[in-house]
Amino acid sequence: MPDQADSTVGREMLLDEIEQLRTALEAAIEENDRLAEDRDRLLRRVSALSRDLQTAHAARAEATSAPAAQVREHQNQAEMELRSAFEELQVLTEELELANNSLHHTNQELDARIEERTCQIQEISAALRSTEGSLRTVADLVPDLLWRTDAAGEADWFNQRWFEYTGDYVADPLGKGWIEALHPLDRESALASWTQAIKAGTPCQQQKRIRAADGDYRWFLICADPMRDERGTITAWFAAATDVHEHHIGMEALQQSELRFRTLVEGMPQLVWRAIEGGKWTWSSPQWTRYTGQKEEASHATGWLDMFHPDDRDHAVEAWSRAPDAGSLEFEGRIFHAAEGRYRHFRTLASPVHLPEGPSLEWLGTSTDVDDLLQLQAQQEILVKELQHRTRNVMAVVQAVAGRTLKESQSLEQFAERFEDRLQALARVQGLLSRRASGLRVTFDALVREELSALVTLDADGKGRQVTLRGPAGVPLKSALVQTLALALHELATNAIKHGALSQPDGHLDICWEIREPHADEHRLFIDWRESGMEGMRDSEVLPQSGGYGRELIERALPYQLRARTTLGIDAGGVHCTIDVQVPVGDRIGEKIDG
C-alpha cells in the first residue's frame, strides 16, 4: 500500500502532466484558428478578384471601342492574379487540413491520456483514503500522544490518545493551545524551545510534565521532527509525547541516592574507593587525594600502590589475590600522609557488590587510619605492664609499711592511726602518678606540695605561715623514686608536726631544692629540709626514732634502692635532712618557686 507521501507525489506529477497537455491543446487550437483566419482572408481575396474579373468582362463588352490589345492585357493580368490566389488558397487549405488532422490526433491522445490519468487519480485517491485511514487508526492505537502542525508550528491535528489522556482540560489544543496542557512551570521553557526549533528548522526534544484528565501531571519525552518536500522545504511538523514518568522518577531517585551516597562518602573520615577484580581501582574519594596528595585519576588501576609503603605493597597485592575466594578483602599497610610527610598505619577493608544471583560487579572499600590506635595499644600494653609492676611494688610497700608500723606500735590503736596515715600518704602519691599526662613525669614541686597540703595549710602558690618552699619548678622524677621519696617526705612532715618545728608556734620549715650537674650527662636533685625554732631540744625529742620507719626510709631505703646520698640530724635550730638523688636528663625545668 503506498504511503501518504508517495500518493501526494503521484498526484502532483499527474496534475503537472495534465497541465502540459492542456497547454499543448491550447497552442494547437490557436494555430488552427490562425490557419482558419488565413483561409478566410484568401477566400475574401478570391471573391474580390472574381468580382474584379467580372467587372472587367462587363467593361470589355461595353467598351468595344477600346483597343483589343489593352483589353487582353488587362484580362491576362486579372487571370494571373486569380490563378495565384487559387494556388495560395489551395496551399492554405492543405495546411489547414493537416492542422485539423494534427489537432484531431492531439485531441484523441489528450482524451486517452486524460482518461488514463483520471483512472490513476481515482486509484491514488482510493489508496490515499485507505492509507490515511490506516495511519489514523495506527495513530490512535499507539500509546504516545501525537499531533501535527503546519510549517509555522500551529497545531492542526491530534490523535485520539491526546484527548483520552488530557480529557477536556484543554478545550482547544489547536494552534498553540496544547501549551496549556503542560505544567505551569514548564510552559515558558517549552514554548521557547519550540519557537527556536521552528526558527532553526531542527528537531526538538525535551522532557515536560503534561496534565492528565484526573488532574495529575506525568513526565513525557516530547520529540518533534519536520517533514520536508522534495525541495527540502518544511511543509509540516510531527510531534510525539512518550510517557517516561516512572523512568524520570526513578532517575531522580537514583540521582538523590547517588547524592546522598556521595555526601556520606565524602563526609567519612575513612579513605573510600571502588575497584574491579585484581585490585584495579576505578575511583577514589576526595579524602584520598587530600590525605596522600595523589590525584584521583593517578590512583586508578594499580596507581594507588604508589602511596603504600614499599615494604607493604607485596602484602597488599597478595591480599587482593585471596579476596575473590575469601569473599572479602582485609589487610593492614602504611599509607603516605602528605601533610605529615610520613607513613601511617591503615586497615583496609572491602566487599564485593553482587548482582542478584550473578557475578560481582565491583568492590567497595575503605582504608581506616589506625596509626593512633596502634600507638595507644602499644602505650596501653606499657601502662598495663607498668600497672602490674606498680601494683606488685605497692603491695610490697604496703606489706613493708604494715610490718614496720606494727613493729614500732605499742597498741592496736596506735598501729591503726599510724598505718592509716601512711596509707593515705601512699594513696596520694599513687593518685599523683595516675593523674600525670601521658609521657610526662611527676615533678618534685608537685610532689612536695601534694604531701604538705595534706598536713598543713598552703595557699595556691604553695605558701604557708610556717612553711617556705624554694626551688625550680618542673624537676622531673623517675617513677621508681616518686613513691619512696614521697613516703620519706611524709615521715619528715609528720615528725615535724608532732615533734618538730611545726609543733611549735614559732617554729618554721624551710624546704629548698636545686639541680646540680656534676657531669654533662648527669643531673642530680639536691633537697635541703631544714627546721628552725627548736633551739635547746634534744635529738631524741625532735628526730624520728632510731630504727623507726622514717629513719629507715631516709638512711637505708633511698641510698640502697635509688643510690641517693642522704643525711639526717639536728643543728642549732632543729631537724636538718639532705637528699641528693639522680634525676632524668633532658626534661624541661621551669620557673623557680620561692614562697
Residue-wise pLDDT for 538-579, tens only, equals 555 556 554 567 788 888 888 988 889 999 888 877 889 999
Contact between 456 and 567 under an 8 Å Cβ cutoff? The reply is no
Residues 333-359 have a mean pLDDT of 88
Question: Of residues 326 and 394, which shows the higher confidence score?
Answer: 326
Give residue 432's pLDDT.
63
Residue 490 has pLDDT above 90, yes or no: no
Residue 6 has pLDDT above 90, yes or no: no
Residues 147-159 have a mean pLDDT of 89
Q: pLDDT class for 320, splitting at 50, 70, 90?
A: very high
Residue ranges covered by each domain of the chain: 4-139, 142-249, 268-369, 438-594
Nearest to 421 by CA among 550, 519, 557: 550
Which of 242-256, 429-443, 534-548 has the weakest average pLDDT?
Answer: 534-548
Strands 508-519 and 467-472: parallel
Q: How are the residues of the chain apportioned to helix, strand and coil, as percentages rounded to the nearest 5?
A: 55, 25, 20
Most confident of 27-36, 85-94, 141-150, 580-589: 141-150
Question: Of residues 483 and 438, which shows the higher confidence score?
Answer: 483
Contact between 292 and 307 under an 8 Å Cβ cutoff? The reply is yes
Place of cell 610526662: 440
Give residue 133's pLDDT.
53
**Residue 413: which residues within 8 A CB-CB, separation 6 or more?**
none
Name the CATH code of domain 4-139 (choices 2.40.160, 3.30.300, 1.10.287, 1.25.40). Answer: 1.10.287
Give residue 126's pLDDT.
58
Share above pLDDT 90 across residues of the chain, in percent, rounded to a whole number: 24
- Tell me what the pLDDT averaged over the chain comes to: 79
Residue 528 has pLDDT above 90, yes or no: yes
Question: Of residues 586 and 77, which shows the higher confidence score?
Answer: 77
Give residue 594's pLDDT.
47
Residues 352-379 have a mean pLDDT of 83
Q: Letter for the amino acid at 551?
A: R
Question: Of residues 579 and 76, which shows the higher confidence score?
Answer: 579
Name the CATH code of domain 142-249 (choices 1.10.300.10, 3.40.190.10, 3.40.630.30, 3.30.450.20). Answer: 3.30.450.20
Give residue 184's pLDDT.
93
Give residue 4's pLDDT.
47
Most confident of 95-109, 203-217, 453-467: 203-217
Residue 334 has pLDDT above 90, yes or no: yes
Give residue 96's pLDDT.
66
Place of cell 483520471: 118
- Classify 243 as helix, strand or coil: strand
Residue-wise pLDDT for 106-149, tens only, equals 667 767 766 776 666 566 555 555 555 555 555 556 678 888 89
Question: Of residues 305 and 128, which shows the higher confidence score?
Answer: 305
Give residue 487's pLDDT.
83
Residue 204 has pLDDT above 70, yes or no: yes
Distance CA 554, CA 551 (A): 5
Region of residue 574 (phi > 0: left; psi between -120 and 50: alpha; otherwise: beta): left
Distance CA 499, CA 381 (A): 45
Region of residue 223 (phi > 0: left; psi between -120 and 50: alpha; otherwise: beta): beta
Report in angstroms the alpha-carbon separations of 56 from 14, 72, 77, 315, 494. Answer: 63, 10, 11, 144, 192
Cell of 363: 568492590
Place of cell 646520698: 565
Contact between 490 and 451 under an 8 Å Cβ cutoff? The reply is yes
Cell of 357: 544471583
Cell of 149: 502542525
Residue 592 has pLDDT above 50, yes or no: no
Give residue 57's pLDDT.
62
Residues 186-201 have a mean pLDDT of 92
Give residue 10's pLDDT.
57
Distance CA 305, CA 347 (A): 14
Distance CA 11, CA 6 (A): 9
Residues 245-252 have a mean pLDDT of 85
Region of residue 349 (phi > 0: left; psi between -120 and 50: alpha; otherwise: beta): beta
Phi, psi values for residue 67, rounded to 5°: -65, 140
Cell of 17: 502532466
Distance CA 155, CA 173 (A): 7
Q: pLDDT class for 504, splitting at 50, 70, 90?
A: confident
Instruction: Evaluate whether 142-249 and 268-369 have a shared fold.
Output: yes
The CATH number assigned to the domain with range 268-369 reads 3.30.450.20
Report in angstroms the alpha-carbon separations of 265 from 169, 215, 282, 284, 285. Answer: 47, 40, 15, 10, 7
Nearest to 291 by CA among 313, 260, 269: 269
Distance CA 431, CA 433 (A): 5
Region of residue 242 (phi > 0: left; psi between -120 and 50: alpha; otherwise: beta): beta
Strands 592-594 and 575-583: unpaired
**438-594 is a CATH 3.40.50.2300 domain:** no
Give residue 566's pLDDT.
92
Beginning with the edge strand found earlier in the chain, give each strand of the sheet holding 271-276 in spatial order: 280-284, 271-276, 360-369, 342-354, 329-337
Share above pLDDT 70 across residues of the chain, in percent, rounded to a whole number: 73
Residues 426-435 have a mean pLDDT of 66
Give residue 58's pLDDT.
64
Give residue 292's pLDDT.
94
Q: What residues pair up with 470 in beta bridges, in sequence order?
A: 512, 594
Residues 87-91 have a mean pLDDT of 72
Contact between 281 and 320 under an 8 Å Cβ cutoff? The reply is no
Residue-wise pLDDT for 28-72, tens only, equals 777 777 777 776 776 676 677 667 666 666 655 555 555 666 667
Contact between 554 and 577 under an 8 Å Cβ cutoff? The reply is yes
Residue 398 neighbours by CB distance under 10 Å: 14
Cα 98 to chain center, whole Å? 91
Q: What is the dihedral of CA 55, 60, 65, 66, to 10 degrees?
A: 80
Give residue 192's pLDDT.
92
Residue 303 has pLDDT above 90, yes or no: yes
Cell of 194: 519550540
Residue 435 neighbours by CB distance under 10 Å: 10
Nearest to 335 by CA among 379, 397, 291: 291
